[in-house]
A = this chain, B = another copy of it.
Amino acid sequence: MKLHPVDLKKIHINDPFWSKHVSLVKEAVIPYQWDAINDRIKDAEPSHSLMNFKIAAGLCEGEFYGAVFQDTDVAKWLEAVGFALAAQPDGELERTADQVIDIIAKAQCPDGYLNTYFTIREPEKRWSDLCEGHELYTAGHMMEAAVAYYMGTGKRKFLDVVLRFADLICDTFGFEDGKIHGYPGHQEVELGLIKLYQVTGESRYLEQAKYFIDARGVGENYFLKELNRPGFRYIFPEFKDYEPIYSQSHLPVREQKTAEGHAVRAMYMYSAMADLAEACGDDSLMEACRTLWDNMTQKRMYITGSIGSSGILERFTTDYDLPNDCNYSESCASIGMAMFGQRMGNITREAKYYDVVERALYNTVLAGIALDGKSFFYVNPLEVWPDNCLPRTSKEHVKPIRQKWFGVSCCPPNIARTLASMGQYIYGVDGESIYVNLFISNETTVDMGGREVSMTMETRFPWKMEVDITLRGVPESGMKLAVRIPDYAGNFAVRYVGDGGQADGYGPALVREKGYGIISLTGDVCLHVTWDAPARFVHSNPLVRADSGKVALVRGPIVYCLEEADNGSNLAAVYVDPGTPVTEEEKDLFGGIIGLSFAGKKISGREWGGDELYGLHPVTWEDVKLKAVPYACWNNRGVGEMVVWMKELFKM
């Protein structure tokens, strides 16, 4: 039996690190996104997404504007609202959302179809471009949003709208004669359908998700057939030489051994595969998930928990190809990886999955949003040289500063819904055990065989590697508490504290299993969990040529970087001896961090004449004091250089 998250309505996060980010969602991001979908952000590309729904609903006159998947701006806002309302009721926000849902309901076609692009602009083209039309992708986001809103408010209206749409999809696609034998170019509907199954118990939605996964990449590629139809018109001209690997449709999913193609599509598909493998007891599908996870995390993932080595097409490339300055490393892809990891961790109870979830959340996902919650990175390279972030060059996707709101605005709302639903990543529960996956201060209650166990976690993680856990109402029949032992932890220890009836300072019996420390409990306890994770310089596998001869500085899950604001320019000329002592110091910067400082050397330009490009001058050095800050915090002090991997000074 797999673990499942706790009910978001029953968990209250009160964490010194995360609460400021989580509260940003309600205080800044949701209002900002509301302005964005209403086209009220000055100097930003208009979204027009809510207007599209009003036009499709017959409430306004006008033309569709935006990308084919523009509807998802509204869906992701509603999803974030759903999660936020689960955490904390808010009558005014709920009324606003209800009004949006009324519009959406009116925009639905009589047969259940829901998509403003095709409804307004090309009604006759419905389902004719599964490759890039994004109808099923958009449908999936509508479903996820409706489920979140239903879970957060208990209101069914939006859910009923998407169920009618889901029924239409079930009637339209399948292996049966008379149905379309296609599958989505951008996976997502699978996740939506699975969530509909989870809230309604209706197995047809699970079956439909399974169809989309099972049909994918089998036999003649559906997209190539589609693109070759006479009169086919490309929405995106760059897809003229379509390669099925881009959408993970090059092989049946069970035969895929390497993480390929567009990274977000891959993550959404793998997440659905994991859900289906568990729900259907499908061992071959589970095996494929394990293989793909291992390939991705062992050969194609950045140390910041990001993926997508190619700026063009936002895609995976090859094993160990991890360039640091021209990669995509999309925020959404890291969110997708966290979703996949959460599922794998909950199914397998192996801690290695949450090691990666934590890495993605604390580094790349957080880097995606500014400290004020009002500007965003899509692309998260590990080195940025602002001068070269030029449009119409190989680095045109790299932005030297977070952007207000993108034309294709997947990342900001995706980050918002992730922050708003952080609670789902903290625990995995199954009625007999509580798995602690992430170290985030919170209070919650968990049903443990019919009995409500209340649990609190208090920590200053990731700055202090200490966590206090209190359990009250532990059943006498016993339960298990499993605490993840992070892959970077040394001297992991659990001790009793005070009044739990146990002797203060002694440790309970701890069984280590798949990366968790498991404790059997028969009564209430207060536990003090500690481990060591000092700042240290790490290497990459020597086959990663971009990092060859370099080191990165990490402390616990936090990857650090050098910024120009602290260290001057030309950071590529900085060298560090990984044996050098690193000083840790609490700082008020960025709302409170531990800053790291250490000595380094830098190639000096002193001996070099200004006008010579190549020459025989010897290298001269200067000693430098270096200061590193968490990668997630970079670029909150204006435009400047940034580098994660520093050159290593070897002592030969």
Contact = CB atoms under 8 A, between A and B. Distances in A.
A393 B317 contact: yes
Interface string A148-186: 000000000000000000000000000000000000000
A385 interface: yes
A324 to B, nearest CB: 11
A323 to B, nearest CB: 8
A318 B388 contact: yes
Contacts of A570: 542-543, 545, 548
How many chain copies? 2
A246 B392 CA distance: 9
Nearest to A396: B312
Interface stretch (A19-27, A297-305, A447-455, A520-528): A297-305
Interface string A385-425: 10110111111100000000000000000000000000000
Interface string A638-652: 000000000111111
Nearest to A602: B542
Contacts of A318: 387-388, 390
B573 A548 contact: yes
A1 interface: no
Question: Main secondary structure on chain A at its contact with chain B?
Answer: loop
Given A539-B615, A539-B616, A391 B243 contact: yes
A613 B387 contact: no
A608 B650 CA distance: 18
Contacts of A312: 392-394, 396
A315 B395 CA distance: 12
Contact of A538 (B313, B387, B549, B616): B616
B294 A385 contact: no
A643 to B, nearest CB: 9
Interface in A308-325: 309-313, 315, 317-319, 321, 323, 325
B539 A617 contact: yes
A544 interface: yes
A605 interface: yes
Contact of A326 (B298, B394, B549, B618): B394
25 contacts: A237-B237, A297-B613, A298-B613, A299-B613, A303-B613, A310-B393, A310-B394, A312-B396, A317-B390, A318-B387, A318-B388, A319-B387, A323-B394, A538-B614, A539-B616, A539-B617, A541-B612, A542-B604, A543-B605, A548-B570, A548-B572, A549-B575, A619-B650, A621-B652, A650-B650
Instruction: Please name the 9 residue pairs, one residue from A and one from B, whose CB atoms are nearest each other, closest first.
Output: A545-B572, A310-B393, A542-B605, A548-B572, A311-B394, A318-B387, A310-B394, A321-B388, A312-B394
Interface of A: 237, 241, 243, 246, 294, 297-299, 301, 303, 309-313, 315, 317-319, 321, 323, 325-326, 385, 387-388, 390-396, 536, 538-546, 548-549, 552, 570, 572-573, 575, 601, 603-605, 608, 611-619, 621, 647-652
